[in-house]
Amino acid sequence: MSAASTAREEMLRRIRAALSDVPTGEQPEEVVVARDYRHSEAVNHEEVVERFAERVAEYKVDVQRVEEAALAQAVAATCASHSVRRLVIPVDIPEFWLLPDVEPLRDENTLTYEQLDTSDGVLTGCALGIAQTGTIILDGGRHQGRRVITLLPDYHLCVVYEDQIVNLVPEAIARLDDAVHHYRRPVTFISGPSATSDIELNRVEGVHGPRTLNVLVVRRASRSHP
């Protein structure tokens, strides 16, 4: 028997010996887990969206609410105000999100770390938003690209559609079930720009991840682009 399989077998033997007080035949589900915490709240969606915008802003993030028709304008204006010219975008970002005055760097998994590091910023959509915690969730799905593109550029502009926002953490976890179970997608929770509290527990925004995060909360036009 190899050393590796010996270690595995011995650890399992130790664990089983340690658990001699657990009745044989007890199933894990027999250990009762009461999930009496909130899974939803009776609030209307406009309130949820408003709370999301507020809580994201509390992380010192610039949040704007815009109509879908004005999205490109908002993207252009926000980029201009942060002197962002060369903007990294995932390949599937719709044309109507952009105006000609930003220079898109489309990532088809082709941009090097160097190119990403020296770009001015990145524009993505997201998978979900959580109002309760002011969190944006990326899962590598539509309009998001691979993980590295939202990590190396110093500026991240994220588009969150109102109908992507859920109220509570459990609602978000439930909605991600398929992405993880089925597609094994990597998931990233983002709550504000990178930060540290390592010096005297004072929060300082901006360490290794993007130092600036901007969020556009978009109301979908009624005859919508899907």
Whichever of 70 and 188 has its CB closer to another protein, that residue is 188
- 212 φ, ψ (degrees, to nearest 5): -125, 130
Task: Name the one residue in this structure whose structure tokens are 């089983």.
Answer: 16
CB 194 within 8 A of CB 205: yes
Whichever of 86 and 175 has its CB closer to another protein, that residue is 175
Question: Residues with Cβ < 8 Å from 26, sequence gap 6 or more?
Answer: none
User: What's the start-to-end Cα distance of the chain, in Å?
Assistant: 56
Whichever of 64 and 194 has its CB closer to another protein, that residue is 194
Question: Residues with Cβ < 8 Å from 29, sequence gap 6 or more?
Answer: none
CB of 34 to another protein, least distance (A): 6
CB of 223 to another protein, least distance (A): 34
Nearest Cα residue to 158 out of 64, 59, 91, 49: 64
Amino acid identity for residue 213 in this structure: L
CB of 123 to another protein, least distance (A): 18
Per-residue tokens: 60: 């010192």
CB of 84 to another protein, least distance (A): 19
CB of 117 to another protein, least distance (A): 7
Whichever of 77 and 187 has its CB closer to another protein, that residue is 187
Whichever of 77 and 195 has its CB closer to another protein, that residue is 195
